[in-house]
Structure 1
């Protein structure tokens, strides 16, 4: 029917060119499929943008991105973005849901003739692109950025967890290679899909933007903080699945124990008003970037990160680089970054008393807080974007040239 979007299925896939064999003299071509490449400013999308920039500038590859797009970008994105049909998610208009790998996108990808297909979201677009690539013999890389199965409990959809986990298992299992962000997730995925099919794609941090030297006492004073005030920080998207309820209850418990703290909140999102109602007397700074973001983070005293949905935990790493003491939920992503009691503190997930006790201890012991911050900064210096992104390019190259997956496990 005219005006209807045609989606891919095994019976209506248009012919793709066979995967290019090694030896042909042209740059590597990568087709990247994303759920919201520049619609939402979050850690996953920033990592993907860094990867695309690295591939274009350092590797000399050609990259085409297939993603939903919004009328206004959430941030200045990098690369050639091909917009796919999508719809706003009810109640969360900043997120868009791809409606599938349409004929238009299919023809565009066929003309682009990629050597590698990289899937960064396990949505319908990624799943259908995966089937098309496998039919054409194009190697498929899937990267894991978010523990989507953990979101369900926050929206009273826990009954869907088993089928969602089964779907995710099929999605990653049907890829030629998987990029996971932390060693525990690498081990988990390797246990399910084979040791040779999983590599580590860690993350880096901008050490110029996140630096203890950016701490600004005049900035703190302009926000009404006294020199000896202890300023807890929440840093990230203001959505319920980031643990906002735990953060609010932790601050309330601190106040009940006599610590008159006024938190600083960096970020924005649909739960901002919810948090403002739940937790009065908070300094909301909204979305910040560049030097302003680095100054705000470094000007706090400790990060409280209660999120259990992170696959990596960019905010932990950025706060560590800024020299903050970090209190984080003890989940695999955080445990991969933080040596408990040495470069930060790991707290049982959801344990309000434990979070409050740790925050009180660091508030009352400035020397311990400073020591943790210094050690955190030193640990964060080991994370370099250049080396991390070179490792992804190496995975692409080895898949493209026909190296067996067993060799890829040694990358990164």
Structure 2
């Protein structure tokens, strides 16, 4: 099969969408398919536009995303895509982002008769609230519905989100589960030298946050939860891995916090495993890959009862699930007060995600796209 994936974000950009789409592309490639990625050109891309190994790449024009240095979005490209796919269309198309490039891909696919699936990776309706425009939540949801209902299938990572979207008029919604690579993330990577650089000794509790440092991540709650922990354990440290538009303000207001910047691959795994409690206060995630990454690293996790946490995190077993902000802070203090329980939770969290395999996600994704391609062939035969 020949598959094309359209995305407006791709590594080295660090975010859940970029890493998830890259994993899907490599998963399809490993299953023997021809894979093409269509995305905006990045400053790091070679001038000849070569792809990532065996993955073919079509690089298109893009522009910087306002307020998010280092991220880009694709400019409209319907005519380019029509020319590109006219004589050799992919058997099926996956559109991962709802920006101008994503809309262009949907239009081109409709004109050429290419079966298409979309992925709902970002809750833009929640972002309206986080950026001080709650009156636009309904408008954002309607815009998302219009986009995804143009596809033959819309893929989401949780049953919770599937049910939510179906109740709000989203059609043909299908769950595609996610996994985590437990060979790359492991408690064995815990590093006492790294912890010492953070000012943490063997008995120091290290709370850690991994992710984009941005307003939509509800970071003030993480700060308040840590300060509550600190009143009980004054030597506790709070380590932040990642970057974003809110980092400078957060650092100025909290000079005792440790900021490590963006970490990737083995370094990210080492940072994750060296924490003791992962604080994840975001309420705007469709999934939250970092929840599984923390669990794979043997780090107990505190998160809200949604997304990956609802699907995989056992309350009181692998960490805690909060239902409101007061509960989040109370759970943080409770977890931080019992080192023995934290260690047991970390071991249980690691064991819980060992059954999740990226290879199975790739197989499920392949089966879904192949099914769309077969239905597309049947429609074409009937039309002829």
Q: The residue matched to 2:35 in structure 1 has which SS?
A: strand
Distance 1:305 1:47 in 2: 19
Deviations 1:307-350 (A, max 9, x none): 1111111111010011111001222442112121222201124x
- State whether structure 2 residue 13 is matched by structure 1 residue 40: yes
Aligned to 1:69: 41
- State whether structure 2 residue 367 is matched by structure 1 residue 391: no
Q: The residue matched to 2:315 in structure 1 has which SS?
A: coil
Deviations 1:204-254 (A, max 9, x none): 212122111111223322432111100000011122212222212222333
Distance 2:21 2:52 in 1: 10
Q: The residue matched to 2:19 in structure 1 has which SS?
A: helix
Distance 2:333 2:30 in 1: 47
Distance 1:328 1:274 in 2: 23
Distance 1:133 1:281 in 2: 52
Deviations 1:260-318 (A, max 9, x none): 32211111222221220222211212222222221211111000000111111111101
Contact 1:49 1:77 in 2 (8 A): no
Aligned counterpart for 1:400 among listed residues 367, 370, 373: 373
Distance 2:330 2:23 in 1: 38
Residue pairs, 1:85-124, within 5 angstroms: 85-124=61-100
Aligned to 1:267: 242
Contact 1:35 1:68 in 2 (8 A): yes
Q: The residue matched to 1:264 in structure 2 has which SS?
A: strand
Give the root-mean-square deviation of aligned CA atoms: 2.3
Residues 1:257 and 1:220: Cα distance change in structure 2 (over 3 Å):
closer
Deviation at 1:258, TM superposition (A): 5.3
Unaligned runs of 5+ in 1: 1-27, 405-412
- State whether structure 2 residue 144 is matched by structure 1 residue 168: yes
The total of aligned residue pairs comes to 372
Residues 1:129 and 1:218: Cα distance change in structure 2 (over 3 Å):
closer
Aligned to 2:350: 377
Q: The residue matched to 1:64 in structure 2 has which SS?
A: strand
Q: The residue matched to 1:117 in structure 2 has which SS?
A: strand
Unaligned runs of 5+ in 2: 46-50, 378-384
User: What TM-score, normalized to structure 1?
Assistant: 0.84
Aligned to 1:255: 230
Residue pairs, 1:259-338, within 5 angstroms: 259-338=234-313
Aligned to 2:330: 357
Contact 2:319 2:335 in 1 (8 A): no
